[in-house]
Amino acid sequence: MRTSINLASQPFVDYRGFLLTAGILGLVALGCTVFLLVIGISTWRETTTTQGRLRALESRSAQLATEQHELETELRAPGNLDQLEQVHFANQLIRRKAFSWTQLFFDLQERLPGQVRVLSLSPSLRDDGRVLVEMRVGAGSQGALIEFLQSLEQGQKFRDVALHTQGEGRAGRDAIEARVTAVYVGD
């Protein structure tokens, strides 16, 4: 019987498994670090580019605001005020000229029930360019007046329909007279 004796001062330890595991974990950690570094650099570049574009747009906005202020100052100069008022007056005339009485009457006729008639009609131009129509109408009954108001509201051509006054008819032909306003949108 033979007994092997280890005469080494330290016992033999197999480090190969440990080194292989540590090497693999080290490579994975190095890969994750490189991946995160690439993402960080990419994000930094995008942020820098976005911030640069934002600064450029803010600079351009400031330039345009300054330019607008200069142009408004020039328009408000005493010599230009008269011309500006004339342009405003001419634009209002053009808007009034563009108003079609025929189209208004046609659109109103489509919405008018049988027992309601228009006694007077007066349009006026609002600041937003739309036409405010004030009407005095006569109706044979309360139901006919309500039907007329609902018909105006349901249509596409009239907005903000409002009944302002309502009373007994004067001519004997109409049981009710009412004052109605509506914004005429037209086409």
Residue 129 lies in a domain: yes
Strand-by-strand arrangement of the 131-139 sheet: 116-125, 131-139, 176-184, 158-168
What confidence tens digit (pLDDT) does each residue in 156-186 have? 778 888 888 777 766 667 778 888 888 877 6
Tally the domains of the chain: 2
Does residue 52 form part of some domain? Answer: yes
Q: Is the pTM of this model over 0.85?
A: no
Task: Note the pLDDT of residue 172.
Answer: 65
> Given phi > 0 = left and psi -120 to 50 = alpha, else beta, which region is 172?
left
- Is residue 94 situated within a structural domain? no
- pLDDT tens-digit map of 14-65: 788 889 999 999 999 999 999 999 999 999 988 888 888 899 999 999 999 9
Write down the pLDDT at residue 186: 67
Do 120 and 153 belong to one domain?
yes
Does residue 162 belong to any structural domain of this protein? yes
Residue 70 lies in a domain: yes
The parent domain of residue 156 ranges over 99-184
